[in-house]
Structure 1
Amino acid sequence: MQGFLLSLVAFILAIGILVTVHEFGHYWVAKKMGVKVLRFSIGFGKPLWKRISGADPTEYVLAAIPLGGYVKMLDEREGDVAANELDRAFNRKSVWARSAIVLAGPLANLILAVLVYWIVFIVGITGIAPILGAPLPGSAAEEAGFTEGDKIVRIAEMPTPTWDTAFVALLDNIVENSEVLEVTVETDAGATIHRRLPINSRELLADQGDLIAKLGLQRWWPTVDPVVGGIEPGGAAEAAGLRAGDRVISSDGQPVETWADWVRIIRASPEKTLQIELLRDSSTLIVPLTPRLLQREDLSIGFIGARETQSQKLIDEKLRTVERYSPGTAFYKAIQRTGNMISVSLGMIGKLFTGEVSLKNTVSGPISIAQFAGQSVSVGVDHYLSFIALVSISLGIFNLFPVPMLDGGHLVYFAIEAVTGKPVSERIQIYGQQVGLLLLAGLMTFVFYQDILRILPS
């Protein structure tokens, strides 16, 4: 319940910030263009709070449904306009002024992303250094010469101080249909080596899964003994009688050498009773343990609610890192990160239309986004801010889609008007709105359905 509330609050706060910034973009440019703004609303539905203020009065509204917002401007198409205010009506402005007002919303989201990333890079964002474990036997990574302990320092031209940046660089190369991944690594001995890893973008994006593993690479993780460090209340481990300090010897007669071995066995055994041999206080005992089912995306895995505590010190010493820059460098990095994410997003959209990726693997609905919000804020404020920046980029790009009812649809109408010299007829615009409403309703239904599938058991 606590996790649900955290996700809900984090989601509402993030959406509130993003919608406010988006609508403020429209509002600010409309004011600069001399358009009278009648209402600035965050949310839809019944107003929870409203206030009229300003020398040129505008009604400011906070409404009940926090999934969007709008700026209502003076417009002859929506009601009578006094003769002395005709020059302040939106529809009376030039096509370029109207285009600027509409474009300002998505641009405000992209600017917000840059500013948030800038703050994050100045303060510093924690991450895990991209150090590799042993490559998978027989894989292209093994043939390319990758070895355990290699630290990825650059992919193509992009520095990779953390796994997050390495993942962005990898996606950037995939959407560009690169056939070879140029990877610079630093070995355990301190040598810098350039390795070339063949990749097939279509195969990597064919289905969900760990892109790193698909390349034949593995993340390095400390090897620790299979000793239980802690038990979660109400979990399968507690129900079976496991205690902190228990050392796992075997499972169904299969020896367990490391904690990673133990995790693999548990994950592969959802709802299957295992006979676990334990060492407790110099005595051995056998207990039945039935891992519970945990659904993750398209995977069904076992979960018992036990954790180890030995690796934390090793992780802090070797893996944990902070990506931090001076204000000037941080601003450059913020622009670069925003540009990379825009490039990756547009590339994925392009591959969606060519059939190289499926819609269910490229879109997330409100439930998934709320889960990501909760996960990021539980990690730290730095990761939550990065989440907001990423969703802000997505919101800006989405609103530029050439679909009626979105900002991009209005820009298409204005482009036609600029070419033909006359506005698109109201009849066509009404038809366009109906089509746009159907498309958006269909998309929302699809993403909600996918969200529900992700959280329900098979």
Structure 2
Amino acid sequence: MTEFIGSVWWLIVSLGVLVTFHEFGHYWVARRCGVKVLRFSVGFGRPLWTRRGQDGTEYVVAAIPLGGYVKMLDEREGEVAATELPHAFNRQSVWKRIAIVVAGPLANLLLCVGLLWGMFVIGRPDYAPVVGQASGIAAQAGLQRGDTVLAVGERDTPTWSEVQLALIPAALDHADVPLRVRKASGAEDTRQLRLSRLPASFDERRAVDAIGLTPRHQLVPATIGRVAPQTAAWGVLAEGDRITAIDGAPVASWDDIGPLVQRLGERGGGAMVEVQRGDERLALQVAPRQTRSAQGDTYWALGVASAAVAEPATDAVLRYGPVAALPAALREANHQAGELVAMIGRAFSGRVSVQNTVAGPITIARAANAYAAHGPAWYLSMLAMLSLSLGILNLLPIPILDGGHLLYYLIELVKGSPVSESVMATGQYVGLALIAGLMGLAFYNDIVNNLVR
């Protein structure tokens, strides 16, 4: 219940901020262009709060926080007094109308930069980009435990999140990419990650796992949480023991135990299992026993299970000073804008599943709650990406979106006269159908990704 309330709250806050800035962009430029604004509404439906300003604009907060609008004086929407005709939107020059339409998405882009600046100044806690385990394509590239990923392609990666953000697009494109790494010895080297070898289809949400990379902070400590009765370890190993070596081979994480136990079992006989028990270091004789899984497979086992793992403490921070944060925010916004446009292109071309690219309110709400729980810097970074997405998606040439209106005005510039009312009406129906389809897809993805799985 707490998660549900938190998700709803952060969804309302997020959409409220984004919609307010977007509509304020339209409102501010409209007023500067001499257009009379009748209503500035955050949300749809029944008004919860209303106030009329000295400029005659009615300011409204409505019940459904899934959008908003700015209603301007317009002859196409009602009769306009002769004295107010110069202030009607439809009477403005095409360049003024373009400016008013573009102002909304532009406000979201500016908000994105501002939020990223705030995130960089506050400092986003994260994990160091250190490899914990490499397999598959990552191991073939020569990556090893302890390697620090300094850059993926041309993008510096000061934290593990930056590594992920850089690798996912390359994985989706099956594009080989160089990694600049610093070895545990301190020497720097470049490794070529052959992402073209990825399967034609893989779980796009787990692209880094498909590459074979596990970060150091995700390794499960080799601490015993339970010893099963009547097994090889029963009466020898104990809960709380941290396994440090098996038959002389060092153990750094729980994932190291399985292969070493299999090797020991196939060799036959027992071996010394070294553990840290409190302040003592012990070497205990254990011989694994062959066990049958629920699927009928046989394997060698000690009979121990890992302890519950708490979220590890962060060991890196992505931070800049107030001055350096501004160009960093501009670079990041530009980079993320390019990646978002590329992702839209992948979705339309079928290279990625729309199930993983179109998110609905449930997904956004849960993400907002999760990011907010990690602190203000993480929440600002998510809000910045949402603002950027809102700005760019609104520029798509779909009627009823800002991009659709912009398309009409560009056509008007070329042909020298406005688009006919019938064409605009048809476009509205087409736009409504497209938006309804996208909303339906978003809600379907929400149900499948959050409620069914």
- Residue 430 in 1 paired to residue 428 in 2? no
1:407-427 CA distance string (max 9 Å, x none): 011011111111001111111
Tell me the secondary structure at the aligned position of residue 218 of structure 1: strand
Residue among 335, 338, 345 paired with 1:340: 335
From the superposition, tell whether residues 179 and 446 of structure 1 become closer, same or farther in structure 2 (CA, over 3 Å): closer
Distance 1:420 1:58 in 2: 34
**Residue 142 (structure 2) pairs with residue 145 (structure 1):** yes
**Residues 58 and 188 (structure 1), Cα distance of their counterparts in 2 relative to 1, 3 Å cut:** same
The C-alpha deviation readout for 1:37-66, integer Å capped at 9, x for no partner, is 111000000000101112x21110010000
Letter in 2 for 1:134: Q
2:404 aligned with 1:403, yes or no? Answer: no
Q: Comparing 203-212 with 401-410, which one deviates more in the overlay?
A: 203-212
Distance 1:179 1:363 in 2: 23
Assess if the C-alpha contact under 8 Å between 2:130 and 2:146 holds in 1.
Answer: yes
Show the counterpart of 2:276.
Answer: none
User: 8 Å contact 1:227–1:259 — kept in the other structure?
Assistant: no
Question: For 1:442 and 1:428, how far apart are their aligned partners in 2?
Answer: 21
- Whether the aligned pair in 2 keeps the contact of 1:342 and 1:393 (CA below 8 Å) is yes
Whole-Å Cα distance in 2 between the matches of residues 17 and 205 of structure 1? 37
Q: How far has the Cα of 1:206 moved from its partner?
A: 5.1
Q: Using the alignment, how far apart are the partners of 2:255 and 2:139 within structure 1?
A: 22
Other-structure match for 1:164? 161
Q: Does the aligned pair in 1 maintain the 2:170–2:195 contact within 8 Å?
A: no
* Alpha-carbon separation, structure 1, partners of 2:177 and 2:372: 33
Cα deviation 1:245-288 (Å, max 9, x = unaligned)? 95599xxxxxxx99845999xxxxxxxxxxxxxxxxxxxxxxxx
* Corresponding position of 2:348: 353
CA contact (8 A) 1:38 1:58 kept: yes
Cα distance, 1:90 vs structure 2: 0.5
Matched, 1:191 2:187: yes
Q: Work out the CA distance in 2 between the residues paired with 1:425 and 1:387.
A: 41
Contact 1:160 1:166 in 2 (8 A): yes
Partner of 1:275: none
1:417 corresponds in structure 2 to 412
Contact 1:135 1:146 (C-alpha < 8 Å) held by counterparts: yes
Contact 2:112 2:333 in 1 (8 A): yes
Question: Aligned pair in 2 of structure 1 residues 189, 263: CA closer, same or farther (>3 Å)?
Answer: closer
RMSD: 2.8
Q: Identity of paired residues, percent?
A: 45
1 CA distance for matches of 2:370 and 2:308?
A: 18
Contact 2:205 2:356 (8 Å CA) reproduced: no
Query: Which of 330, 347, 363 is 1:368 aligned to?
Result: 363
1:17 aligns with: 17
Q: 1:31 to 1:263 in 2, by over 3 A?
A: farther
Q: Secondary structure at the match of 1:334?
A: helix
Aligned partner letter, 1:129: A
Of structures 1 and 2, the larger Rg is shown by 2
Letter in 2 for 1:76: E
Q: Give the superposition deviation at 1:307.
A: 3.0
CA offsets, 1:327-365, max 9 Å, x none?
Answer: 222111111111111111110111122211121121111
Conserved in 2, the CA contact under 8 Å of 1:43 and 1:65?
A: yes
2:34 matched to which residue of 1?
34
In structure 2, what is the equivalent of residue 133 of structure 1? Answer: 132
Alignment of 1:78-117 (within 5 A): 78-117=77-116
Cα distance between partner residues in 1 of 2:339 and 2:131: 24
Deviation at 1:204, TM superposition (A): 7.2
CA apart distance, 1:22:
0.3
Report how far residue 218 of structure 1 moved. Answer: 2.0
Say which SS state the counterpart of residue 134 (structure 1) adopts: strand
Please tell me whether residue 323 in structure 1 is matched to residue 318 in structure 2: yes
Structure 2 CA distance for partners of 1:205 and 1:342, relative to 1, 3 Å: farther
Quote how far apart the aligned CAs of 1:216 are: 2.4
Q: Secondary structure at the match of 1:15?
A: helix
Q: Unpaired segments of 5 or more residues in structure 1?
A: 230-244, 250-256, 265-303
Residue 164 and residue 204 in structure 1: after superposition, are their counterparts in 2 closer, same or farther (change >3 A)? farther
Per the normalisation by structure 2, the TM-score is 0.80
Report what 1:60 is aligned to: 59
Alignment-mate amino acid for residue 190 of structure 2: H
Per-residue CA deviations over 1:288-311 (Å, capped at 9, x if unaligned) read: xxxxxxxxxxxxxxxx9x8335x8
Offset at 1:24? 0.3
Equivalent residue number for residue 176 of structure 2: 180
Structure-1 residue corresponding to 2:379: 384
Count of aligned residue pairs for this structure pair:
389
